Amino acid sequence: MKRLFLIPALICLMMTACQQTPNPFLGEYNTPFDVPPFDQIENEHYMPAFEEGIKQQKAEIEAIVNNPEAPTFDNTIKALDLSGMLLHRVELTFFSFTEAMSNDTLQEIAAEVSPLLSAHSDDIMLNEALFERIKAVYDNRANENLDRAQERLLEQYYNNFVRAGALLSDEDKETLRTINSELSTLSLQFGNNSLAENNAFELLIENEADLAGLPAGVVAAAKEEAAAKGKEGWLFNLSAPSRIPFLQYADNRDLREKLYTAYIMRGDNDNENDNKEIIKRTLELRLQKAQLLGYKTYADFILDDRMAKTDSAVNALLLNIWKYAVPRAKEEIVDMQKIIDREGGNFKLAAWDWAYYAEKVRQEKYALNEDELKPYFSLDKVLEGVFMVAEKLYGITFQQRTDLPIYHPEVRAYEVFDAEGKHLAVFFCDYFPRASKRSGAWMSTFRESYVDAEGNEVRPLVYNVGNFTKPTAETPSLLTLDEVETLFHEFGHGLHGMLTRVDYYGISGTNVARDFVELPSQITEHWATHPEVLKLYAHHYETGEVIPDELIAKMQRAGTFNQGFATTELVAAALLDMRMHELDNLEGFDAREFEKKVAAELGLPEEICYRYRSMHFNHVFSGGYAVGYYSYLWAEVLDADAFDAFVENGVFDKATADAFRINVLEAGASEDPMKLYIQFRGAEPNPDALLRGRGLK
C-alpha cells in the first residue's frame, strides 16, 4: 500500500512551553543525506517546527501572489511547487511516527494538528489571488513553451484548485472549510480507534493441548510473546504473524472462532473504539462536499480525477472479476466441506474454518505445507533477493549503512546507488509488529525527490513498513509466502519512489493517480515466486541449500490455489467501498446493516467476509483510499499484462526493464498514466491477463 499523508499545512498555534533542547527541525540536520536526526527529535519539537513552517510558507505564498510581474510557470507554478519545504520535512516525519511509533502524546498532538492542517490547505487552495495567477498561466499555457512535465504540473495545480473549491462562492468556501476540518479529525479518530482495537485483544492459552496443530515456530513465538508481557503460557494477538498461522493450523475450532471473531469485529463492538458513527458522519460529509463541488456522489467526485474516470468503468471491471471468482470460491467450499464430513466434523464450514481447511486441501492436492517453505525464506535472504532483482533489472545496488539515524532498533538503513555508482536514494525498512505500529504494510517517504530553486537535485528518503514474522530465540525471521510477496510489493512502491527522475515535487515518485500507483508494487510481486528468481535467493536458513526443484514445482502447481476466496474477499471489499460512496442520500444509514445489504445483493457466500469490514477499513476511512480500493485490481490488470512482456522476453531482459524504468518508475505523473503504459507496452492492457494470472479463466 502506498501510504498518503496530509497536504503540507500552516498551523496558527502559539507554543508556550520552553524548549529544553535545540529543535532539530529548525536548523541543519548535519546528518548524512539530511536524514532526520531521529534520536534528537522530541515530541515537544513538533509544534514550534510547524509554527515556523507557517511563517515560511505564508511568506512564500504571499510573495507569489504579490509578484508584480505577469504570472508565468516559473514565478507561479514552480514557486508554488517549491513552497513549504520545512512543513514537508516536519509533517512527513511526524505522520510516519503516528503510524509506526505511535503513543498517547503523538495522538494528542495529531488531534490538535489535523484540523489546523486542513485549515491551512484550505487557506492555500481557496486563495483567490493565488488561483487567479494559476488560471492566468493555465489560460496562456500555449505560449509558455512548456515541456510535457511542466504542462502536467500546471494541469495538476489548476485541476486541484478547482476540485478544492476555487470556483465556489465565498459562502460555499466557508462551508467547505468546515467540512474538511471535520473530515480530518474523523480520519484521525478512526485510525486511533483501529489501533486501539488491534491492541485490545489477546488470546492467552494456558493449556498446552489447545496448541495442537500449530507449528513449533508459531508456538515458540507465542511463548516469547507471553513472556515479554510477563505472562505464563502462549499469547496470540491480532497481528498477521500471530493471527494467520493460528487460523491456518490450530485444531481447536472454538479458539479459532474466538480469534477470528475478534479480528472481524474490530471497530464494531459498541465500545469507546467503535467506528460506526464515524463512518456515517464521514460519508455524510464526503457526500456534502461532492455535491457542493457539483457532483452527484463522492464516487463521481473522486473518479473524475482517476484513470477509471467513472463508477461504471470500475463496476464493469469488478463485476466481471466477480462472476469468475464466486463460482470458484463455491468449488473451494465444496472441497473443504468434503474433508470436514470425511473427518466426522458434523458441522458446516464457517468463516473461521476457511484458512484451516484450505490448508488441508492444499496439502492433499499439492502436498505443499507452508512450513516446508518458510525455512527458505529467512528475512535476510528475501531482502538479498529483492535487492538482487532490483540490480538485475535496473542496475541499482544497496549498501547497508549503520551510521545513519534510525527511529527504532529494528529499522535497517541502506544507501542506494544507480547503475553508474552515483547516490540515488536512502532506503529504510521496518518489518516487525509492535504495539505502537498499526497493522498492514506500507511505503512512504521522509523526503520526496525534486530539483530545488538553485537547480540542485534532491534525492528521496524512502521507507517500507511491515508486520512480518519476528525471529525467535531458535530461528531467524522466517517469512510466509504471503509475507514474501508483501515485502516485494512494498519494495515495488519503494522503487517507484527511489528511481524517479522528475524535477517537480508535486508529480515525482509515487505522486500519481491512485489507480496507477499500485502498478510498480504489484508487478514486483511477480519476481518473488518466479522459478528463476527463487533459485537466486531462496536458500535454507540452516544448510544454505537452494530451494529444491520439486518444491518450486509444488509452488507453481499451487500458485492459483484458493484464488476463489482471495479474489472474492478482495472484490467484495472494493465493491463495499464503491457502494458506500455511490450513495446520494445517507438518511438512516447504518454501517453494519449496509454491509449485510451489499453482501446479499452481491451474493457473497456466507463463509467469506469482506477482506476489510467498513468498521476497520483503514484504507478507506483513514488512509486516503476512499473510492480507491478497486485500484489494486485495476492495477492488477496493468501489472499482469505488463509482466507478460517480461515473460515474452525474459524476466531480466534489459530492454524490457529499461522501458519499464523509463516510462513508469522514473516518470512519476509527468504524463497521462495510460499514455505512459502504452509507451512501455505498445498497447493498452489486456484485462484477461488478470483472470489468467489468478487462474480464474
pLDDT in tens, 119-146: 999 999 999 999 999 999 999 999 999 9
Q: Does the pLDDT value for residue 520 go beyond 90?
A: yes
For cell 512501455, name the residue.
680
d(CA 263, CA 260): 5
Tens of pLDDT, residues 304-326: 999 999 999 999 999 999 999 99
Q: Does the pLDDT value for residue 10 go beyond 80?
A: no
Give the pLDDT score at 3: 59
C-alpha cell at 677: 503504459
Give the pLDDT score at 18: 39
Give the single-character DSSP code of 426. Answer: E
Residue 490 among the catalytic residues:
yes
Residue 436 burial (C-beta neighbours within 10 Å; 0-12, 13-18, 19+): middle
- Domains observed in the chain: 24-167 (1.20.1050.40), 183-197+274-368+558-627 (1.10.1370.10), 201-264 (no CATH), 375-557+631-693 (1.10.1370.40)
d(CA 272, CA 192): 11
How does the average pLDDT of the chain come out, rounded? 95
Question: SS3 for 376-403, per residue?
Answer: HCEHHHHHHHHHHHHHHHHCCEEEECCC
For cell 536548523, name the residue.
27
Give the pLDDT score at 370: 87
Q: Does the pLDDT value for residue 614 go beyond 80?
A: yes
Give the single-character DSSP code of 656. Answer: H
Tens of pLDDT, residues 247-263: 999 999 999 999 999 99
Q: Does the pLDDT value for residue 619 go beyond 50?
A: yes
Give the pLDDT score at 11: 33
Give the single-character DSSP code of 414. Answer: E
pLDDT band at 4 (very low <50, low <70, confident <90, very high): low
d(CA 235, CA 247): 14
Buried b (16+ CB within 10 A) or exposed e, 297-331: bbbbbbbbebbbeebebbbebbebbbebbbebbee
Give the pLDDT score at 51: 87
Q: Does the pLDDT value for residue 218 go beyond 60?
A: yes
Cα 625 from chain centre: 9
Q: Does the pLDDT value for residue 19 go beyond 80?
A: no
Give the pLDDT score at 7: 38
How many other β-carbons are positioned within 10 Å of the β-carbon of residue 627? 27
Tens of pLDDT, residues 155-193: 999 999 999 999 999 999 999 999 999 999 999 999 999
C-alpha cell at 682: 505498445
Instruction: Supply the pTM of this predicted model.
Output: 0.93
Give the pLDDT score at 236: 98
Give the pLDDT score at 411: 98
Are 154 and 78 a contacting pair, CB within 8 Å? Answer: no
Give the pLDDT score at 116: 85
Q: What DSSP line would sit under 325-392, residue for residue?
A: HHHHHHHHHHHHHHHHHHTT--S---GGGHHHHHHHHHHHHH---HHHHGGG-BHHHHHHHHHHHHHH
d(CA 459, CA 444): 14
d(CA 514, CA 510): 9
Q: Does the pLDDT value for residue 235 go beyond 60?
A: yes
Residue 444's φ and ψ, nearest 5 degrees, are: -160, -165
Are 460 and 445 a contacting pair, CB within 8 Å? Answer: yes
Q: Does the pLDDT value for residue 422 go beyond 70?
A: yes
Question: SS3 for 169-206, per residue?
Answer: CHHHHHHHHHHHHHHHHHHHHHHHHHHHHHHHCCEEEC
C-alpha cell at 60: 512564500
d(CA 609, CA 332): 15
Nearest of 505, 499, 489 to residue 450 by alpha carbon:
505
Tens of pLDDT, residues 349-389: 999 999 999 999 999 999 998 889 999 999 999 999 999 99
Q: Is the four-CA dihedral 492, 496, 498, 499 of positive or negative sign?
A: positive
How far the first Cα of the chain sits from its last, in Å, is 27
d(CA 195, CA 375): 31
Give the single-character DSSP code of 444. Answer: E
Q: Does the pLDDT value for residue 12 go beyond 80?
A: no
Residue 402 burial (C-beta neighbours within 10 Å; 0-12, 13-18, 19+): exposed
Q: Considering 197, 332, 483, 490, which one is annotated as catalytic? A: 490
Higher pLDDT pick, 689 / 212: 212
